[in-house]
Chain A
Amino acid sequence: MSGAQSGVLSMQRTDEELVSLATAGDPESFNQLVVRWERQIFALAYRVLGREEDARDVCQETFLRAFRGIKGFKGQAKFSSWLYRIALNLCHDWMRRDKRANHLLPLDTESEPEPAGQPVETAEGRALRRDLGRVITEAMATLPEEQRTTIVLKEYHGLTFQEIADLQGCPLSTVKTRLYQGLGVLRRQLKRSGLDGPGSVAALAGRGGVAKSSRKVVNLDR
């Protein structure tokens, strides 16, 4: 880390230190954990549930439950894994409740997913990204919950296969099967929408040069 951040780091405690401070009754330490993890938990819930409002609710509920149960966290897993587990259980409840209420997957297909780090974007680019977000959201919604969760944990949260197996309480081989099957479904769905290559956004935009040469890369593998 650079020197400019050393001041910050001196203030930064590890998750585990903050947990033990929070357990000892310091709410401010818990708030630091919230700040540290809320975006990750929100992103997890959003990608699993597909709706911003639900994701926000799950995120809030996750931290509330974590706070209430913090004394039960004995450090047997990483704090983040523990949080993920709470959030995924809540997502599961949310989806079951949705199914009972007979919702027809009213997904956030109108919202505009914005990857961080691209604040300046043309209107055209925004529209394309929205299309891409919608296509992926819809494709993900067709997957069974376990496959979707596995893909989200692996693809966007970088958990190892073993960590996912521990979280889902299943053998390593099951995790890989879920991931493989899920990717297979997504591959077919994306292909149907014409989003089957790298630089899909560029391909959508019809910027022929980039898209075409990206395709060349694909063909080489065949």
Chain B
Amino acid sequence: MTETTHIAQEQLLDYLYGEADASARARVEEHTRSCPQCAAEVGELRNVRATLGEWGPPEAELGFRLVSKRDEASFGPAPPSWAARTLRPRMWGLAAAAVLVLTATATLANLQFEVGEQGLVVRLGWGEPQAVDQVSPADLADLRDGLRQEMLTPQVATSVNGVPAEWASIPGSSDDPWIGSVRELIRESEQRQQLVFDNRVREAEQRIASQRRSDLSEMERTFREVDAEDAELARQQLMEYLRRVSR
């Protein structure tokens, strides 16, 4: 009997996690065909793994960001500070810029612009109304035209991936420092969104790929069992896997 030569723990784990080479894999499969005890062990561990696979972390808003003070103070970098997205004035700026592009014409009356020592400040018209005497209607009209032009420019319309080089080359865009600043903010915001998006795509791809790998190996295993023994039962098992795969 094979009683004395059950699969060693280490080989079993290598097999279970796909780190066994072809010959080791074949040995395990050969053994489990004739040893119900080891076959049950493999099956149960697979089930535990399947259950663990259902456990995801909560969807958390992370968005940590290193903020250098270099942009604000002239020289001498201050120690970097961290905060969640909602606490970060800079992120408010990015959010405001993003909203600005989408609703530039509709909400123009609610927007305030200030150019002071701290650079450009964009405010949405929330809370107390404030005097707008630093910005003339002509400036607003310039800005609006500039933004419209950006929205209509083909490079921008297709710039899902954030294309700083093309933006910088739009004729006349360098005249207005405000538009430059807004553009910079939008670009940063877009880049971050793109990175996040790209990472999610990559994660999803990895997940799908690993799921596919395990499904395929299950199917392969099942096919082999069809050849080996009890064709009727194994066929049911195959159908079950196919159902799960196609789900």
Q: Which residues of A contact B (CB under 8 A)?
A: 5, 7-8, 11-12, 27, 30-32, 34-36, 38-39, 42-43, 46-47, 52, 55-56, 59-60, 63-64, 67, 108, 111-117, 129, 132-133, 136-137, 151, 154-155, 158, 160-161, 173, 176-177, 179-180, 183, 186-187, 190, 195-201, 213-214, 216-218, 220-222
Given contacts A43-B56, A187-B44, 13 further A-B contacts (CB under 8 A): A11-B191, A39-B203, A52-B58, A59-B62, A60-B64, A116-B203, A151-B52, A176-B10, A186-B48, A195-B51, A198-B47, A216-B236, A221-B39
Complex Cα–Cα for A197 and B204 (A): 25
Please indicate the chain B residues that have their CB under 8 angstroms from the CB of A52 in the complex.
57-58, 60
Q: Answer yes or no: B59 CB below 8 A from chain A CBs.
A: yes
For residue A27, give the distance in angstroms from its CB to the closest CB of chain B. Answer: 4
How many residues does chain B have at the interface if contact means C-beta atoms less than 8 Å apart?
64
For residue A101, give the distance in angstroms from its CB to the closest CB of chain B. Answer: 23
Bitwise interface map of B from 231 to 247 toward A, beta carbon under 8 Å scored 1, else 0: 00110110011011000
Contact B13 A176 (CB under 8 A): yes
Please indicate the chain B residues that have their CB under 8 angstroms from the CB of A155 in the complex.
49, 52-53
Complex Cα–Cα for A7 and B45 (A): 42
Complex Cα–Cα for A9 and B167 (A): 19
Contact A198 B46 (CB under 8 A): yes
Contact A42 B57 (CB under 8 A): yes
Complex Cα–Cα for A213 and B192 (A): 45
Interface-located stretch among B111-119, B143-151, B194-202: B194-202
Contact A187 B45 (CB under 8 A): yes
Please indicate the chain B residues that have their CB under 8 angstroms from the CB of A46 in the complex.
57-58, 60
Contact B58 A114 (CB under 8 A): yes
Contact A154 B17 (CB under 8 A): yes
Contact B64 A11 (CB under 8 A): no
Complex Cα–Cα for A85 and B63 (A): 21
- A176-B9, A186-B48, A221-B42 as given contacts; A38 in contact with B62, CB under 8 Å: yes
Smallest CB gap from A113: residue in B? B56
Please indicate the chain A residues that have their CB under 8 angstroms from the CB of B62 in the complex.
38-39, 42, 56, 59
Contact B55 A12 (CB under 8 A): no
Contact A116 B56 (CB under 8 A): yes
Complex Cα–Cα for A217 and B194 (A): 43
Contact A200 B58 (CB under 8 A): no
26 A–B contacts from the bound complex (CB under 8 Å): A5-B201, A12-B198, A27-B66, A31-B192, A35-B199, A36-B195, A38-B64, A39-B203, A42-B60, A47-B55, A59-B62, A60-B64, A63-B82, A108-B58, A112-B58, A114-B56, A116-B59, A132-B51, A154-B17, A187-B47, A187-B48, A196-B47, A196-B51, A197-B50, A221-B32, A222-B43
Smallest CB gap from B162: residue in A? A11
Complex Cα–Cα for A63 and B84 (A): 13
Please indicate the chain A residues that have their CB under 8 angstroms from the CB of B32 in the complex.
221
Q: Answer yes or no: B68 CB below 8 A from chain A CBs.
A: yes
Q: Answer yes or no: B217 CB below 8 A from chain A CBs.
A: no
Please indicate the chain B residues that have their CB under 8 angstroms from the CB of A200 in the complex.
50-51, 54
For residue B76, give the distance in angstroms from its CB to the closest CB of chain A. Answer: 13
Contact A158 B210 (CB under 8 A): yes
Q: Which of B172-204 contact A (CB under 8 A)?
A: 191-192, 194-196, 198-201, 203-204
Complex Cα–Cα for A217 and B44 (A): 11
Complex Cα–Cα for A34 and B192 (A): 11
Please indicate the chain B residues that have their CB under 8 angstroms from the CB of A34 in the complex.
64-66
Contact B82 A64 (CB under 8 A): yes
Q: Answer yes or no: B137 CB below 8 A from chain A CBs.
A: no
Q: Answer yes or no: B160 CB below 8 A from chain A CBs.
A: yes
Bitwise interface map of B from 203 to 241 toward A, beta carbon under 8 Å scored 1, else 0: 110110010000000000000000000000110110011
For residue A118, give the distance in angstroms from its CB to the closest CB of chain B. Answer: 9
